[in-house]
Amino acid sequence: MVTLFGVFLLTLLVITAFGIVRAQHLFVAVMLSGIFSLQMAAIFFILDAADVALTEAAVGAGVATVLMLGALALTDDRERGPKRHRWAPIVVVSLTTLMVIYATFDKPRLGDPEAPVHQHVAPWYLEETPRLIDIPNVVTAILASFRGYDTLGELFVIFTAGIGVLFLLANPSKRGALSLLPSAEAEGLRHHLVPRVVGRLLVPFIVLFGLYVQFHGEYGPGGGFQAGALISAGFILYALIEGEGAALRAMSFRLLRGMIAGGALLYVGVGLAGMLLGGNFLDYSVLADNPIAGQHLGIMLVEAGVGLTVTGTLLTVFHAFAAREQRR
Amino acid sequence: MEFLGLYNYWVFAILLMTGLYAVISRANLIKKLLGMTMFQAAVFLLYISMDKVDGGTAPIIQVGAVDQLYSNPLPQVLILTAIVVGIATLSLGLAIVVRISETYGTIEEGEIREIDEE
Amino acid sequence: MEYAIDIASWLLLIAGGVFVFIGGVGALRMPDFYTRMHAASLTDTLGTILILLGIILQAGLSLAAIKLAAITVFLLLTCPTAAYALANAARLSGLTPERRVSDAEET
- What does the pLDDT look like over B31-88, one tens digit per residue? 999 999 999 999 999 999 888 888 778 888 877 767 778 888 889 999 999 999 999 9
Whether residue C102 lies inside any domain: the answer is: no
Give the domain ranges of chain A: 1-81, 137-328
Q: What is the pTM of this model?
A: 0.89
Decide: residue A317, CB within 10 A, 0-12 exposed, 13-18 middle, 19+ buried.
Answer: buried
Decide: residue A77, CB within 10 A, 0-12 exposed, 13-18 middle, 19+ buried.
Answer: exposed
Whether residue C101 lies inside any domain: the answer is: no
Q: CA of A1 to nearest chain B CA: how many angstroms apart? A: 12
Contacts of A201 in chain C (CB under 8 A): 77
Contact at CB, A117 and B6, closer than 8 angstroms = no
Specify the length of chain B in residues.
118
Out of A21-30, A252-261, C87-96, C98-107, which region has the weakest mean confidence (pLDDT)? C98-107
Q: What is the pLDDT along chain A (328 residues), one digit of tens a residue?
A: 778 888 899 999 999 999 999 888 888 999 999 999 999 999 999 888 889 999 999 998 889 999 998 888 888 667 666 656 778 888 888 999 999 888 888 888 887 777 788 888 888 888 888 888 888 888 998 998 888 899 999 999 999 999 999 888 876 555 444 333 444 344 445 567 888 888 888 999 999 999 999 998 888 888 889 999 999 999 998 888 888 778 888 888 889 989 999 999 999 999 999 888 888 888 888 888 888 888 899 999 999 999 999 999 999 999 888 877 655 5
Q: CA of B5 to nearest chain A CA: how many angstroms apart? A: 5
Q: CA of B118 to nearest chain A CA: how many angstroms apart? A: 20
Q: What confidence score (pLDDT) does residue A67 get?
A: 92
Contacts of A202 in chain C (CB under 8 A): 74, 77-78
Q: What confidence score (pLDDT) does residue C4 get?
A: 87
Report the residue from A30, A47, A147 with minimal CB separation from B48: A47
Contacts of B83 in chain A (CB under 8 A): 52, 55-56, 59-60, 225
| A contact set with C (CB within 8 A) | 184-185, 188-189, 192, 194-195, 198-199, 201-202, 205
Decide: residue C69, CB within 10 A, 0-12 exposed, 13-18 middle, 19+ buried.
Answer: middle
Contact at CB, A79 and B26, closer than 8 angstroms = yes
Comparing CA positions, the residue from A97, A22, A277, A57 lying closest to residue B80 is A57
Distance CA A242, CA A284 (A): 43
Give the domain ranges of chain B: 2-52+71-117
Contact at CB, A198 and C78, closer than 8 angstroms = yes
Contacts of C67 in chain A (CB under 8 A): none
Contacts of C77 in chain A (CB under 8 A): 198, 201-202
Closest residue of chain B to A315, computed from CA coordinates: B91
Distance CA A56, CA A30 (A): 16
Cβ contacts from A onto B, under 8 A: 281
Q: What confidence score (pLDDT) does residue A156 get?
A: 93
Q: What confidence score (pLDDT) does residue A228 get?
A: 93
Whether residue C23 lies inside any domain: the answer is: yes
In the three-class reduction of DSSP (H, G, I as helix; E, B as strand; rest coil), residue C96 is classed as coil
Q: What confidence score (pLDDT) does residue A205 get?
A: 92
Whether residue C100 lies inside any domain: the answer is: no
> How many independent structural domains does chain C possess?
1
pLDDT band (50, 70, 90) for residue C63: confident
Q: CA of C85 to nearest chain A CA: how many angstroms apart? A: 7
Contacts of A29 in chain B (CB under 8 A): 30-31, 34
Report the residue from B31, B76, B99 with minimal CB separation from A79: B31
C5 pLDDT exceeds 70? yes
Report the residue from A184, A194, A202 with minimal CB separation from C92: A184
Decide: residue A240, CB within 10 A, 0-12 exposed, 13-18 middle, 19+ buried.
Answer: buried
According to the 3-state scheme, what is the secondary structure of chain A?
CHHHHHHHHHHHHHHHHHHHHHCCEHHHHHHHHHHHHHHHHHHHHHCCCHHHHHHHHHHHHHHHHHHHHHHHHHCCCECCCCCCCCCHHHHHHHHHHHHHHHHHCCCCCCECCCCHHHCCHHHHHHHHHHHHCCCCEHHHHHHHHHCHHHHHHHHHHHHHHHHHHHHHHCCCCCCCCCCCCCCHHHHHHHHCHHHHHHHHHHHHHHHHHHHHHHHCCCCCCCCHHHHHHHHHHHHHHHHHHHCHHHHHHHCCHHHHHHHHHHHHHHHHHHHHHHHHCCCCCCCHHHCCCCHHHHHHHHHHHHHHHHHHHHHHHHHHHHHHHHHHHHHC
Closest residue of chain A to C78, computed from CA coordinates: A198
Whether residue C44 lies inside any domain: the answer is: yes
Q: What confidence score (pLDDT) does residue C105 get?
A: 54
Contact at CB, A142 and B74, closer than 8 angstroms = yes
Q: What kind of architecture, by CATH, is found in domain B2-52+71-117? A: Orthogonal Bundle (1.10)
Q: What confidence score (pLDDT) does residue A33 get?
A: 94
Contacts of A93 in chain B (CB under 8 A): 17-18, 20-21, 24
Contacts of B59 in chain A (CB under 8 A): 48, 126, 137-139
Contact at CB, A194 and C85, closer than 8 angstroms = yes
Whether residue C62 lies inside any domain: the answer is: yes
Which residue in A92, A95, A110 has the most chain B C-beta atoms within 10 A of its own C-beta, making it the best mutation to test that interface?
A110
Q: What confidence score (pLDDT) does residue A182 get?
A: 41
B92 pLDDT exceeds 50? yes
Contacts of B16 in chain A (CB under 8 A): 97, 100
Report the residue from C74, C81, C89 with minimal CB separation from A194: C81
In the three-class reduction of DSSP (H, G, I as helix; E, B as strand; rest coil), residue C93 is classed as coil
Whether residue C36 lies inside any domain: the answer is: yes
Distance CA A17, CA A127 (A): 39
Mean pLDDT of C14-25: 90
- Chains B and A share 3 or more Cβ pairs within 8 Å: yes
Whether residue C105 lies inside any domain: the answer is: no
Q: What confidence score (pLDDT) does residue C103 get?
A: 60
Contact at CB, A10 and B98, closer than 8 angstroms = no
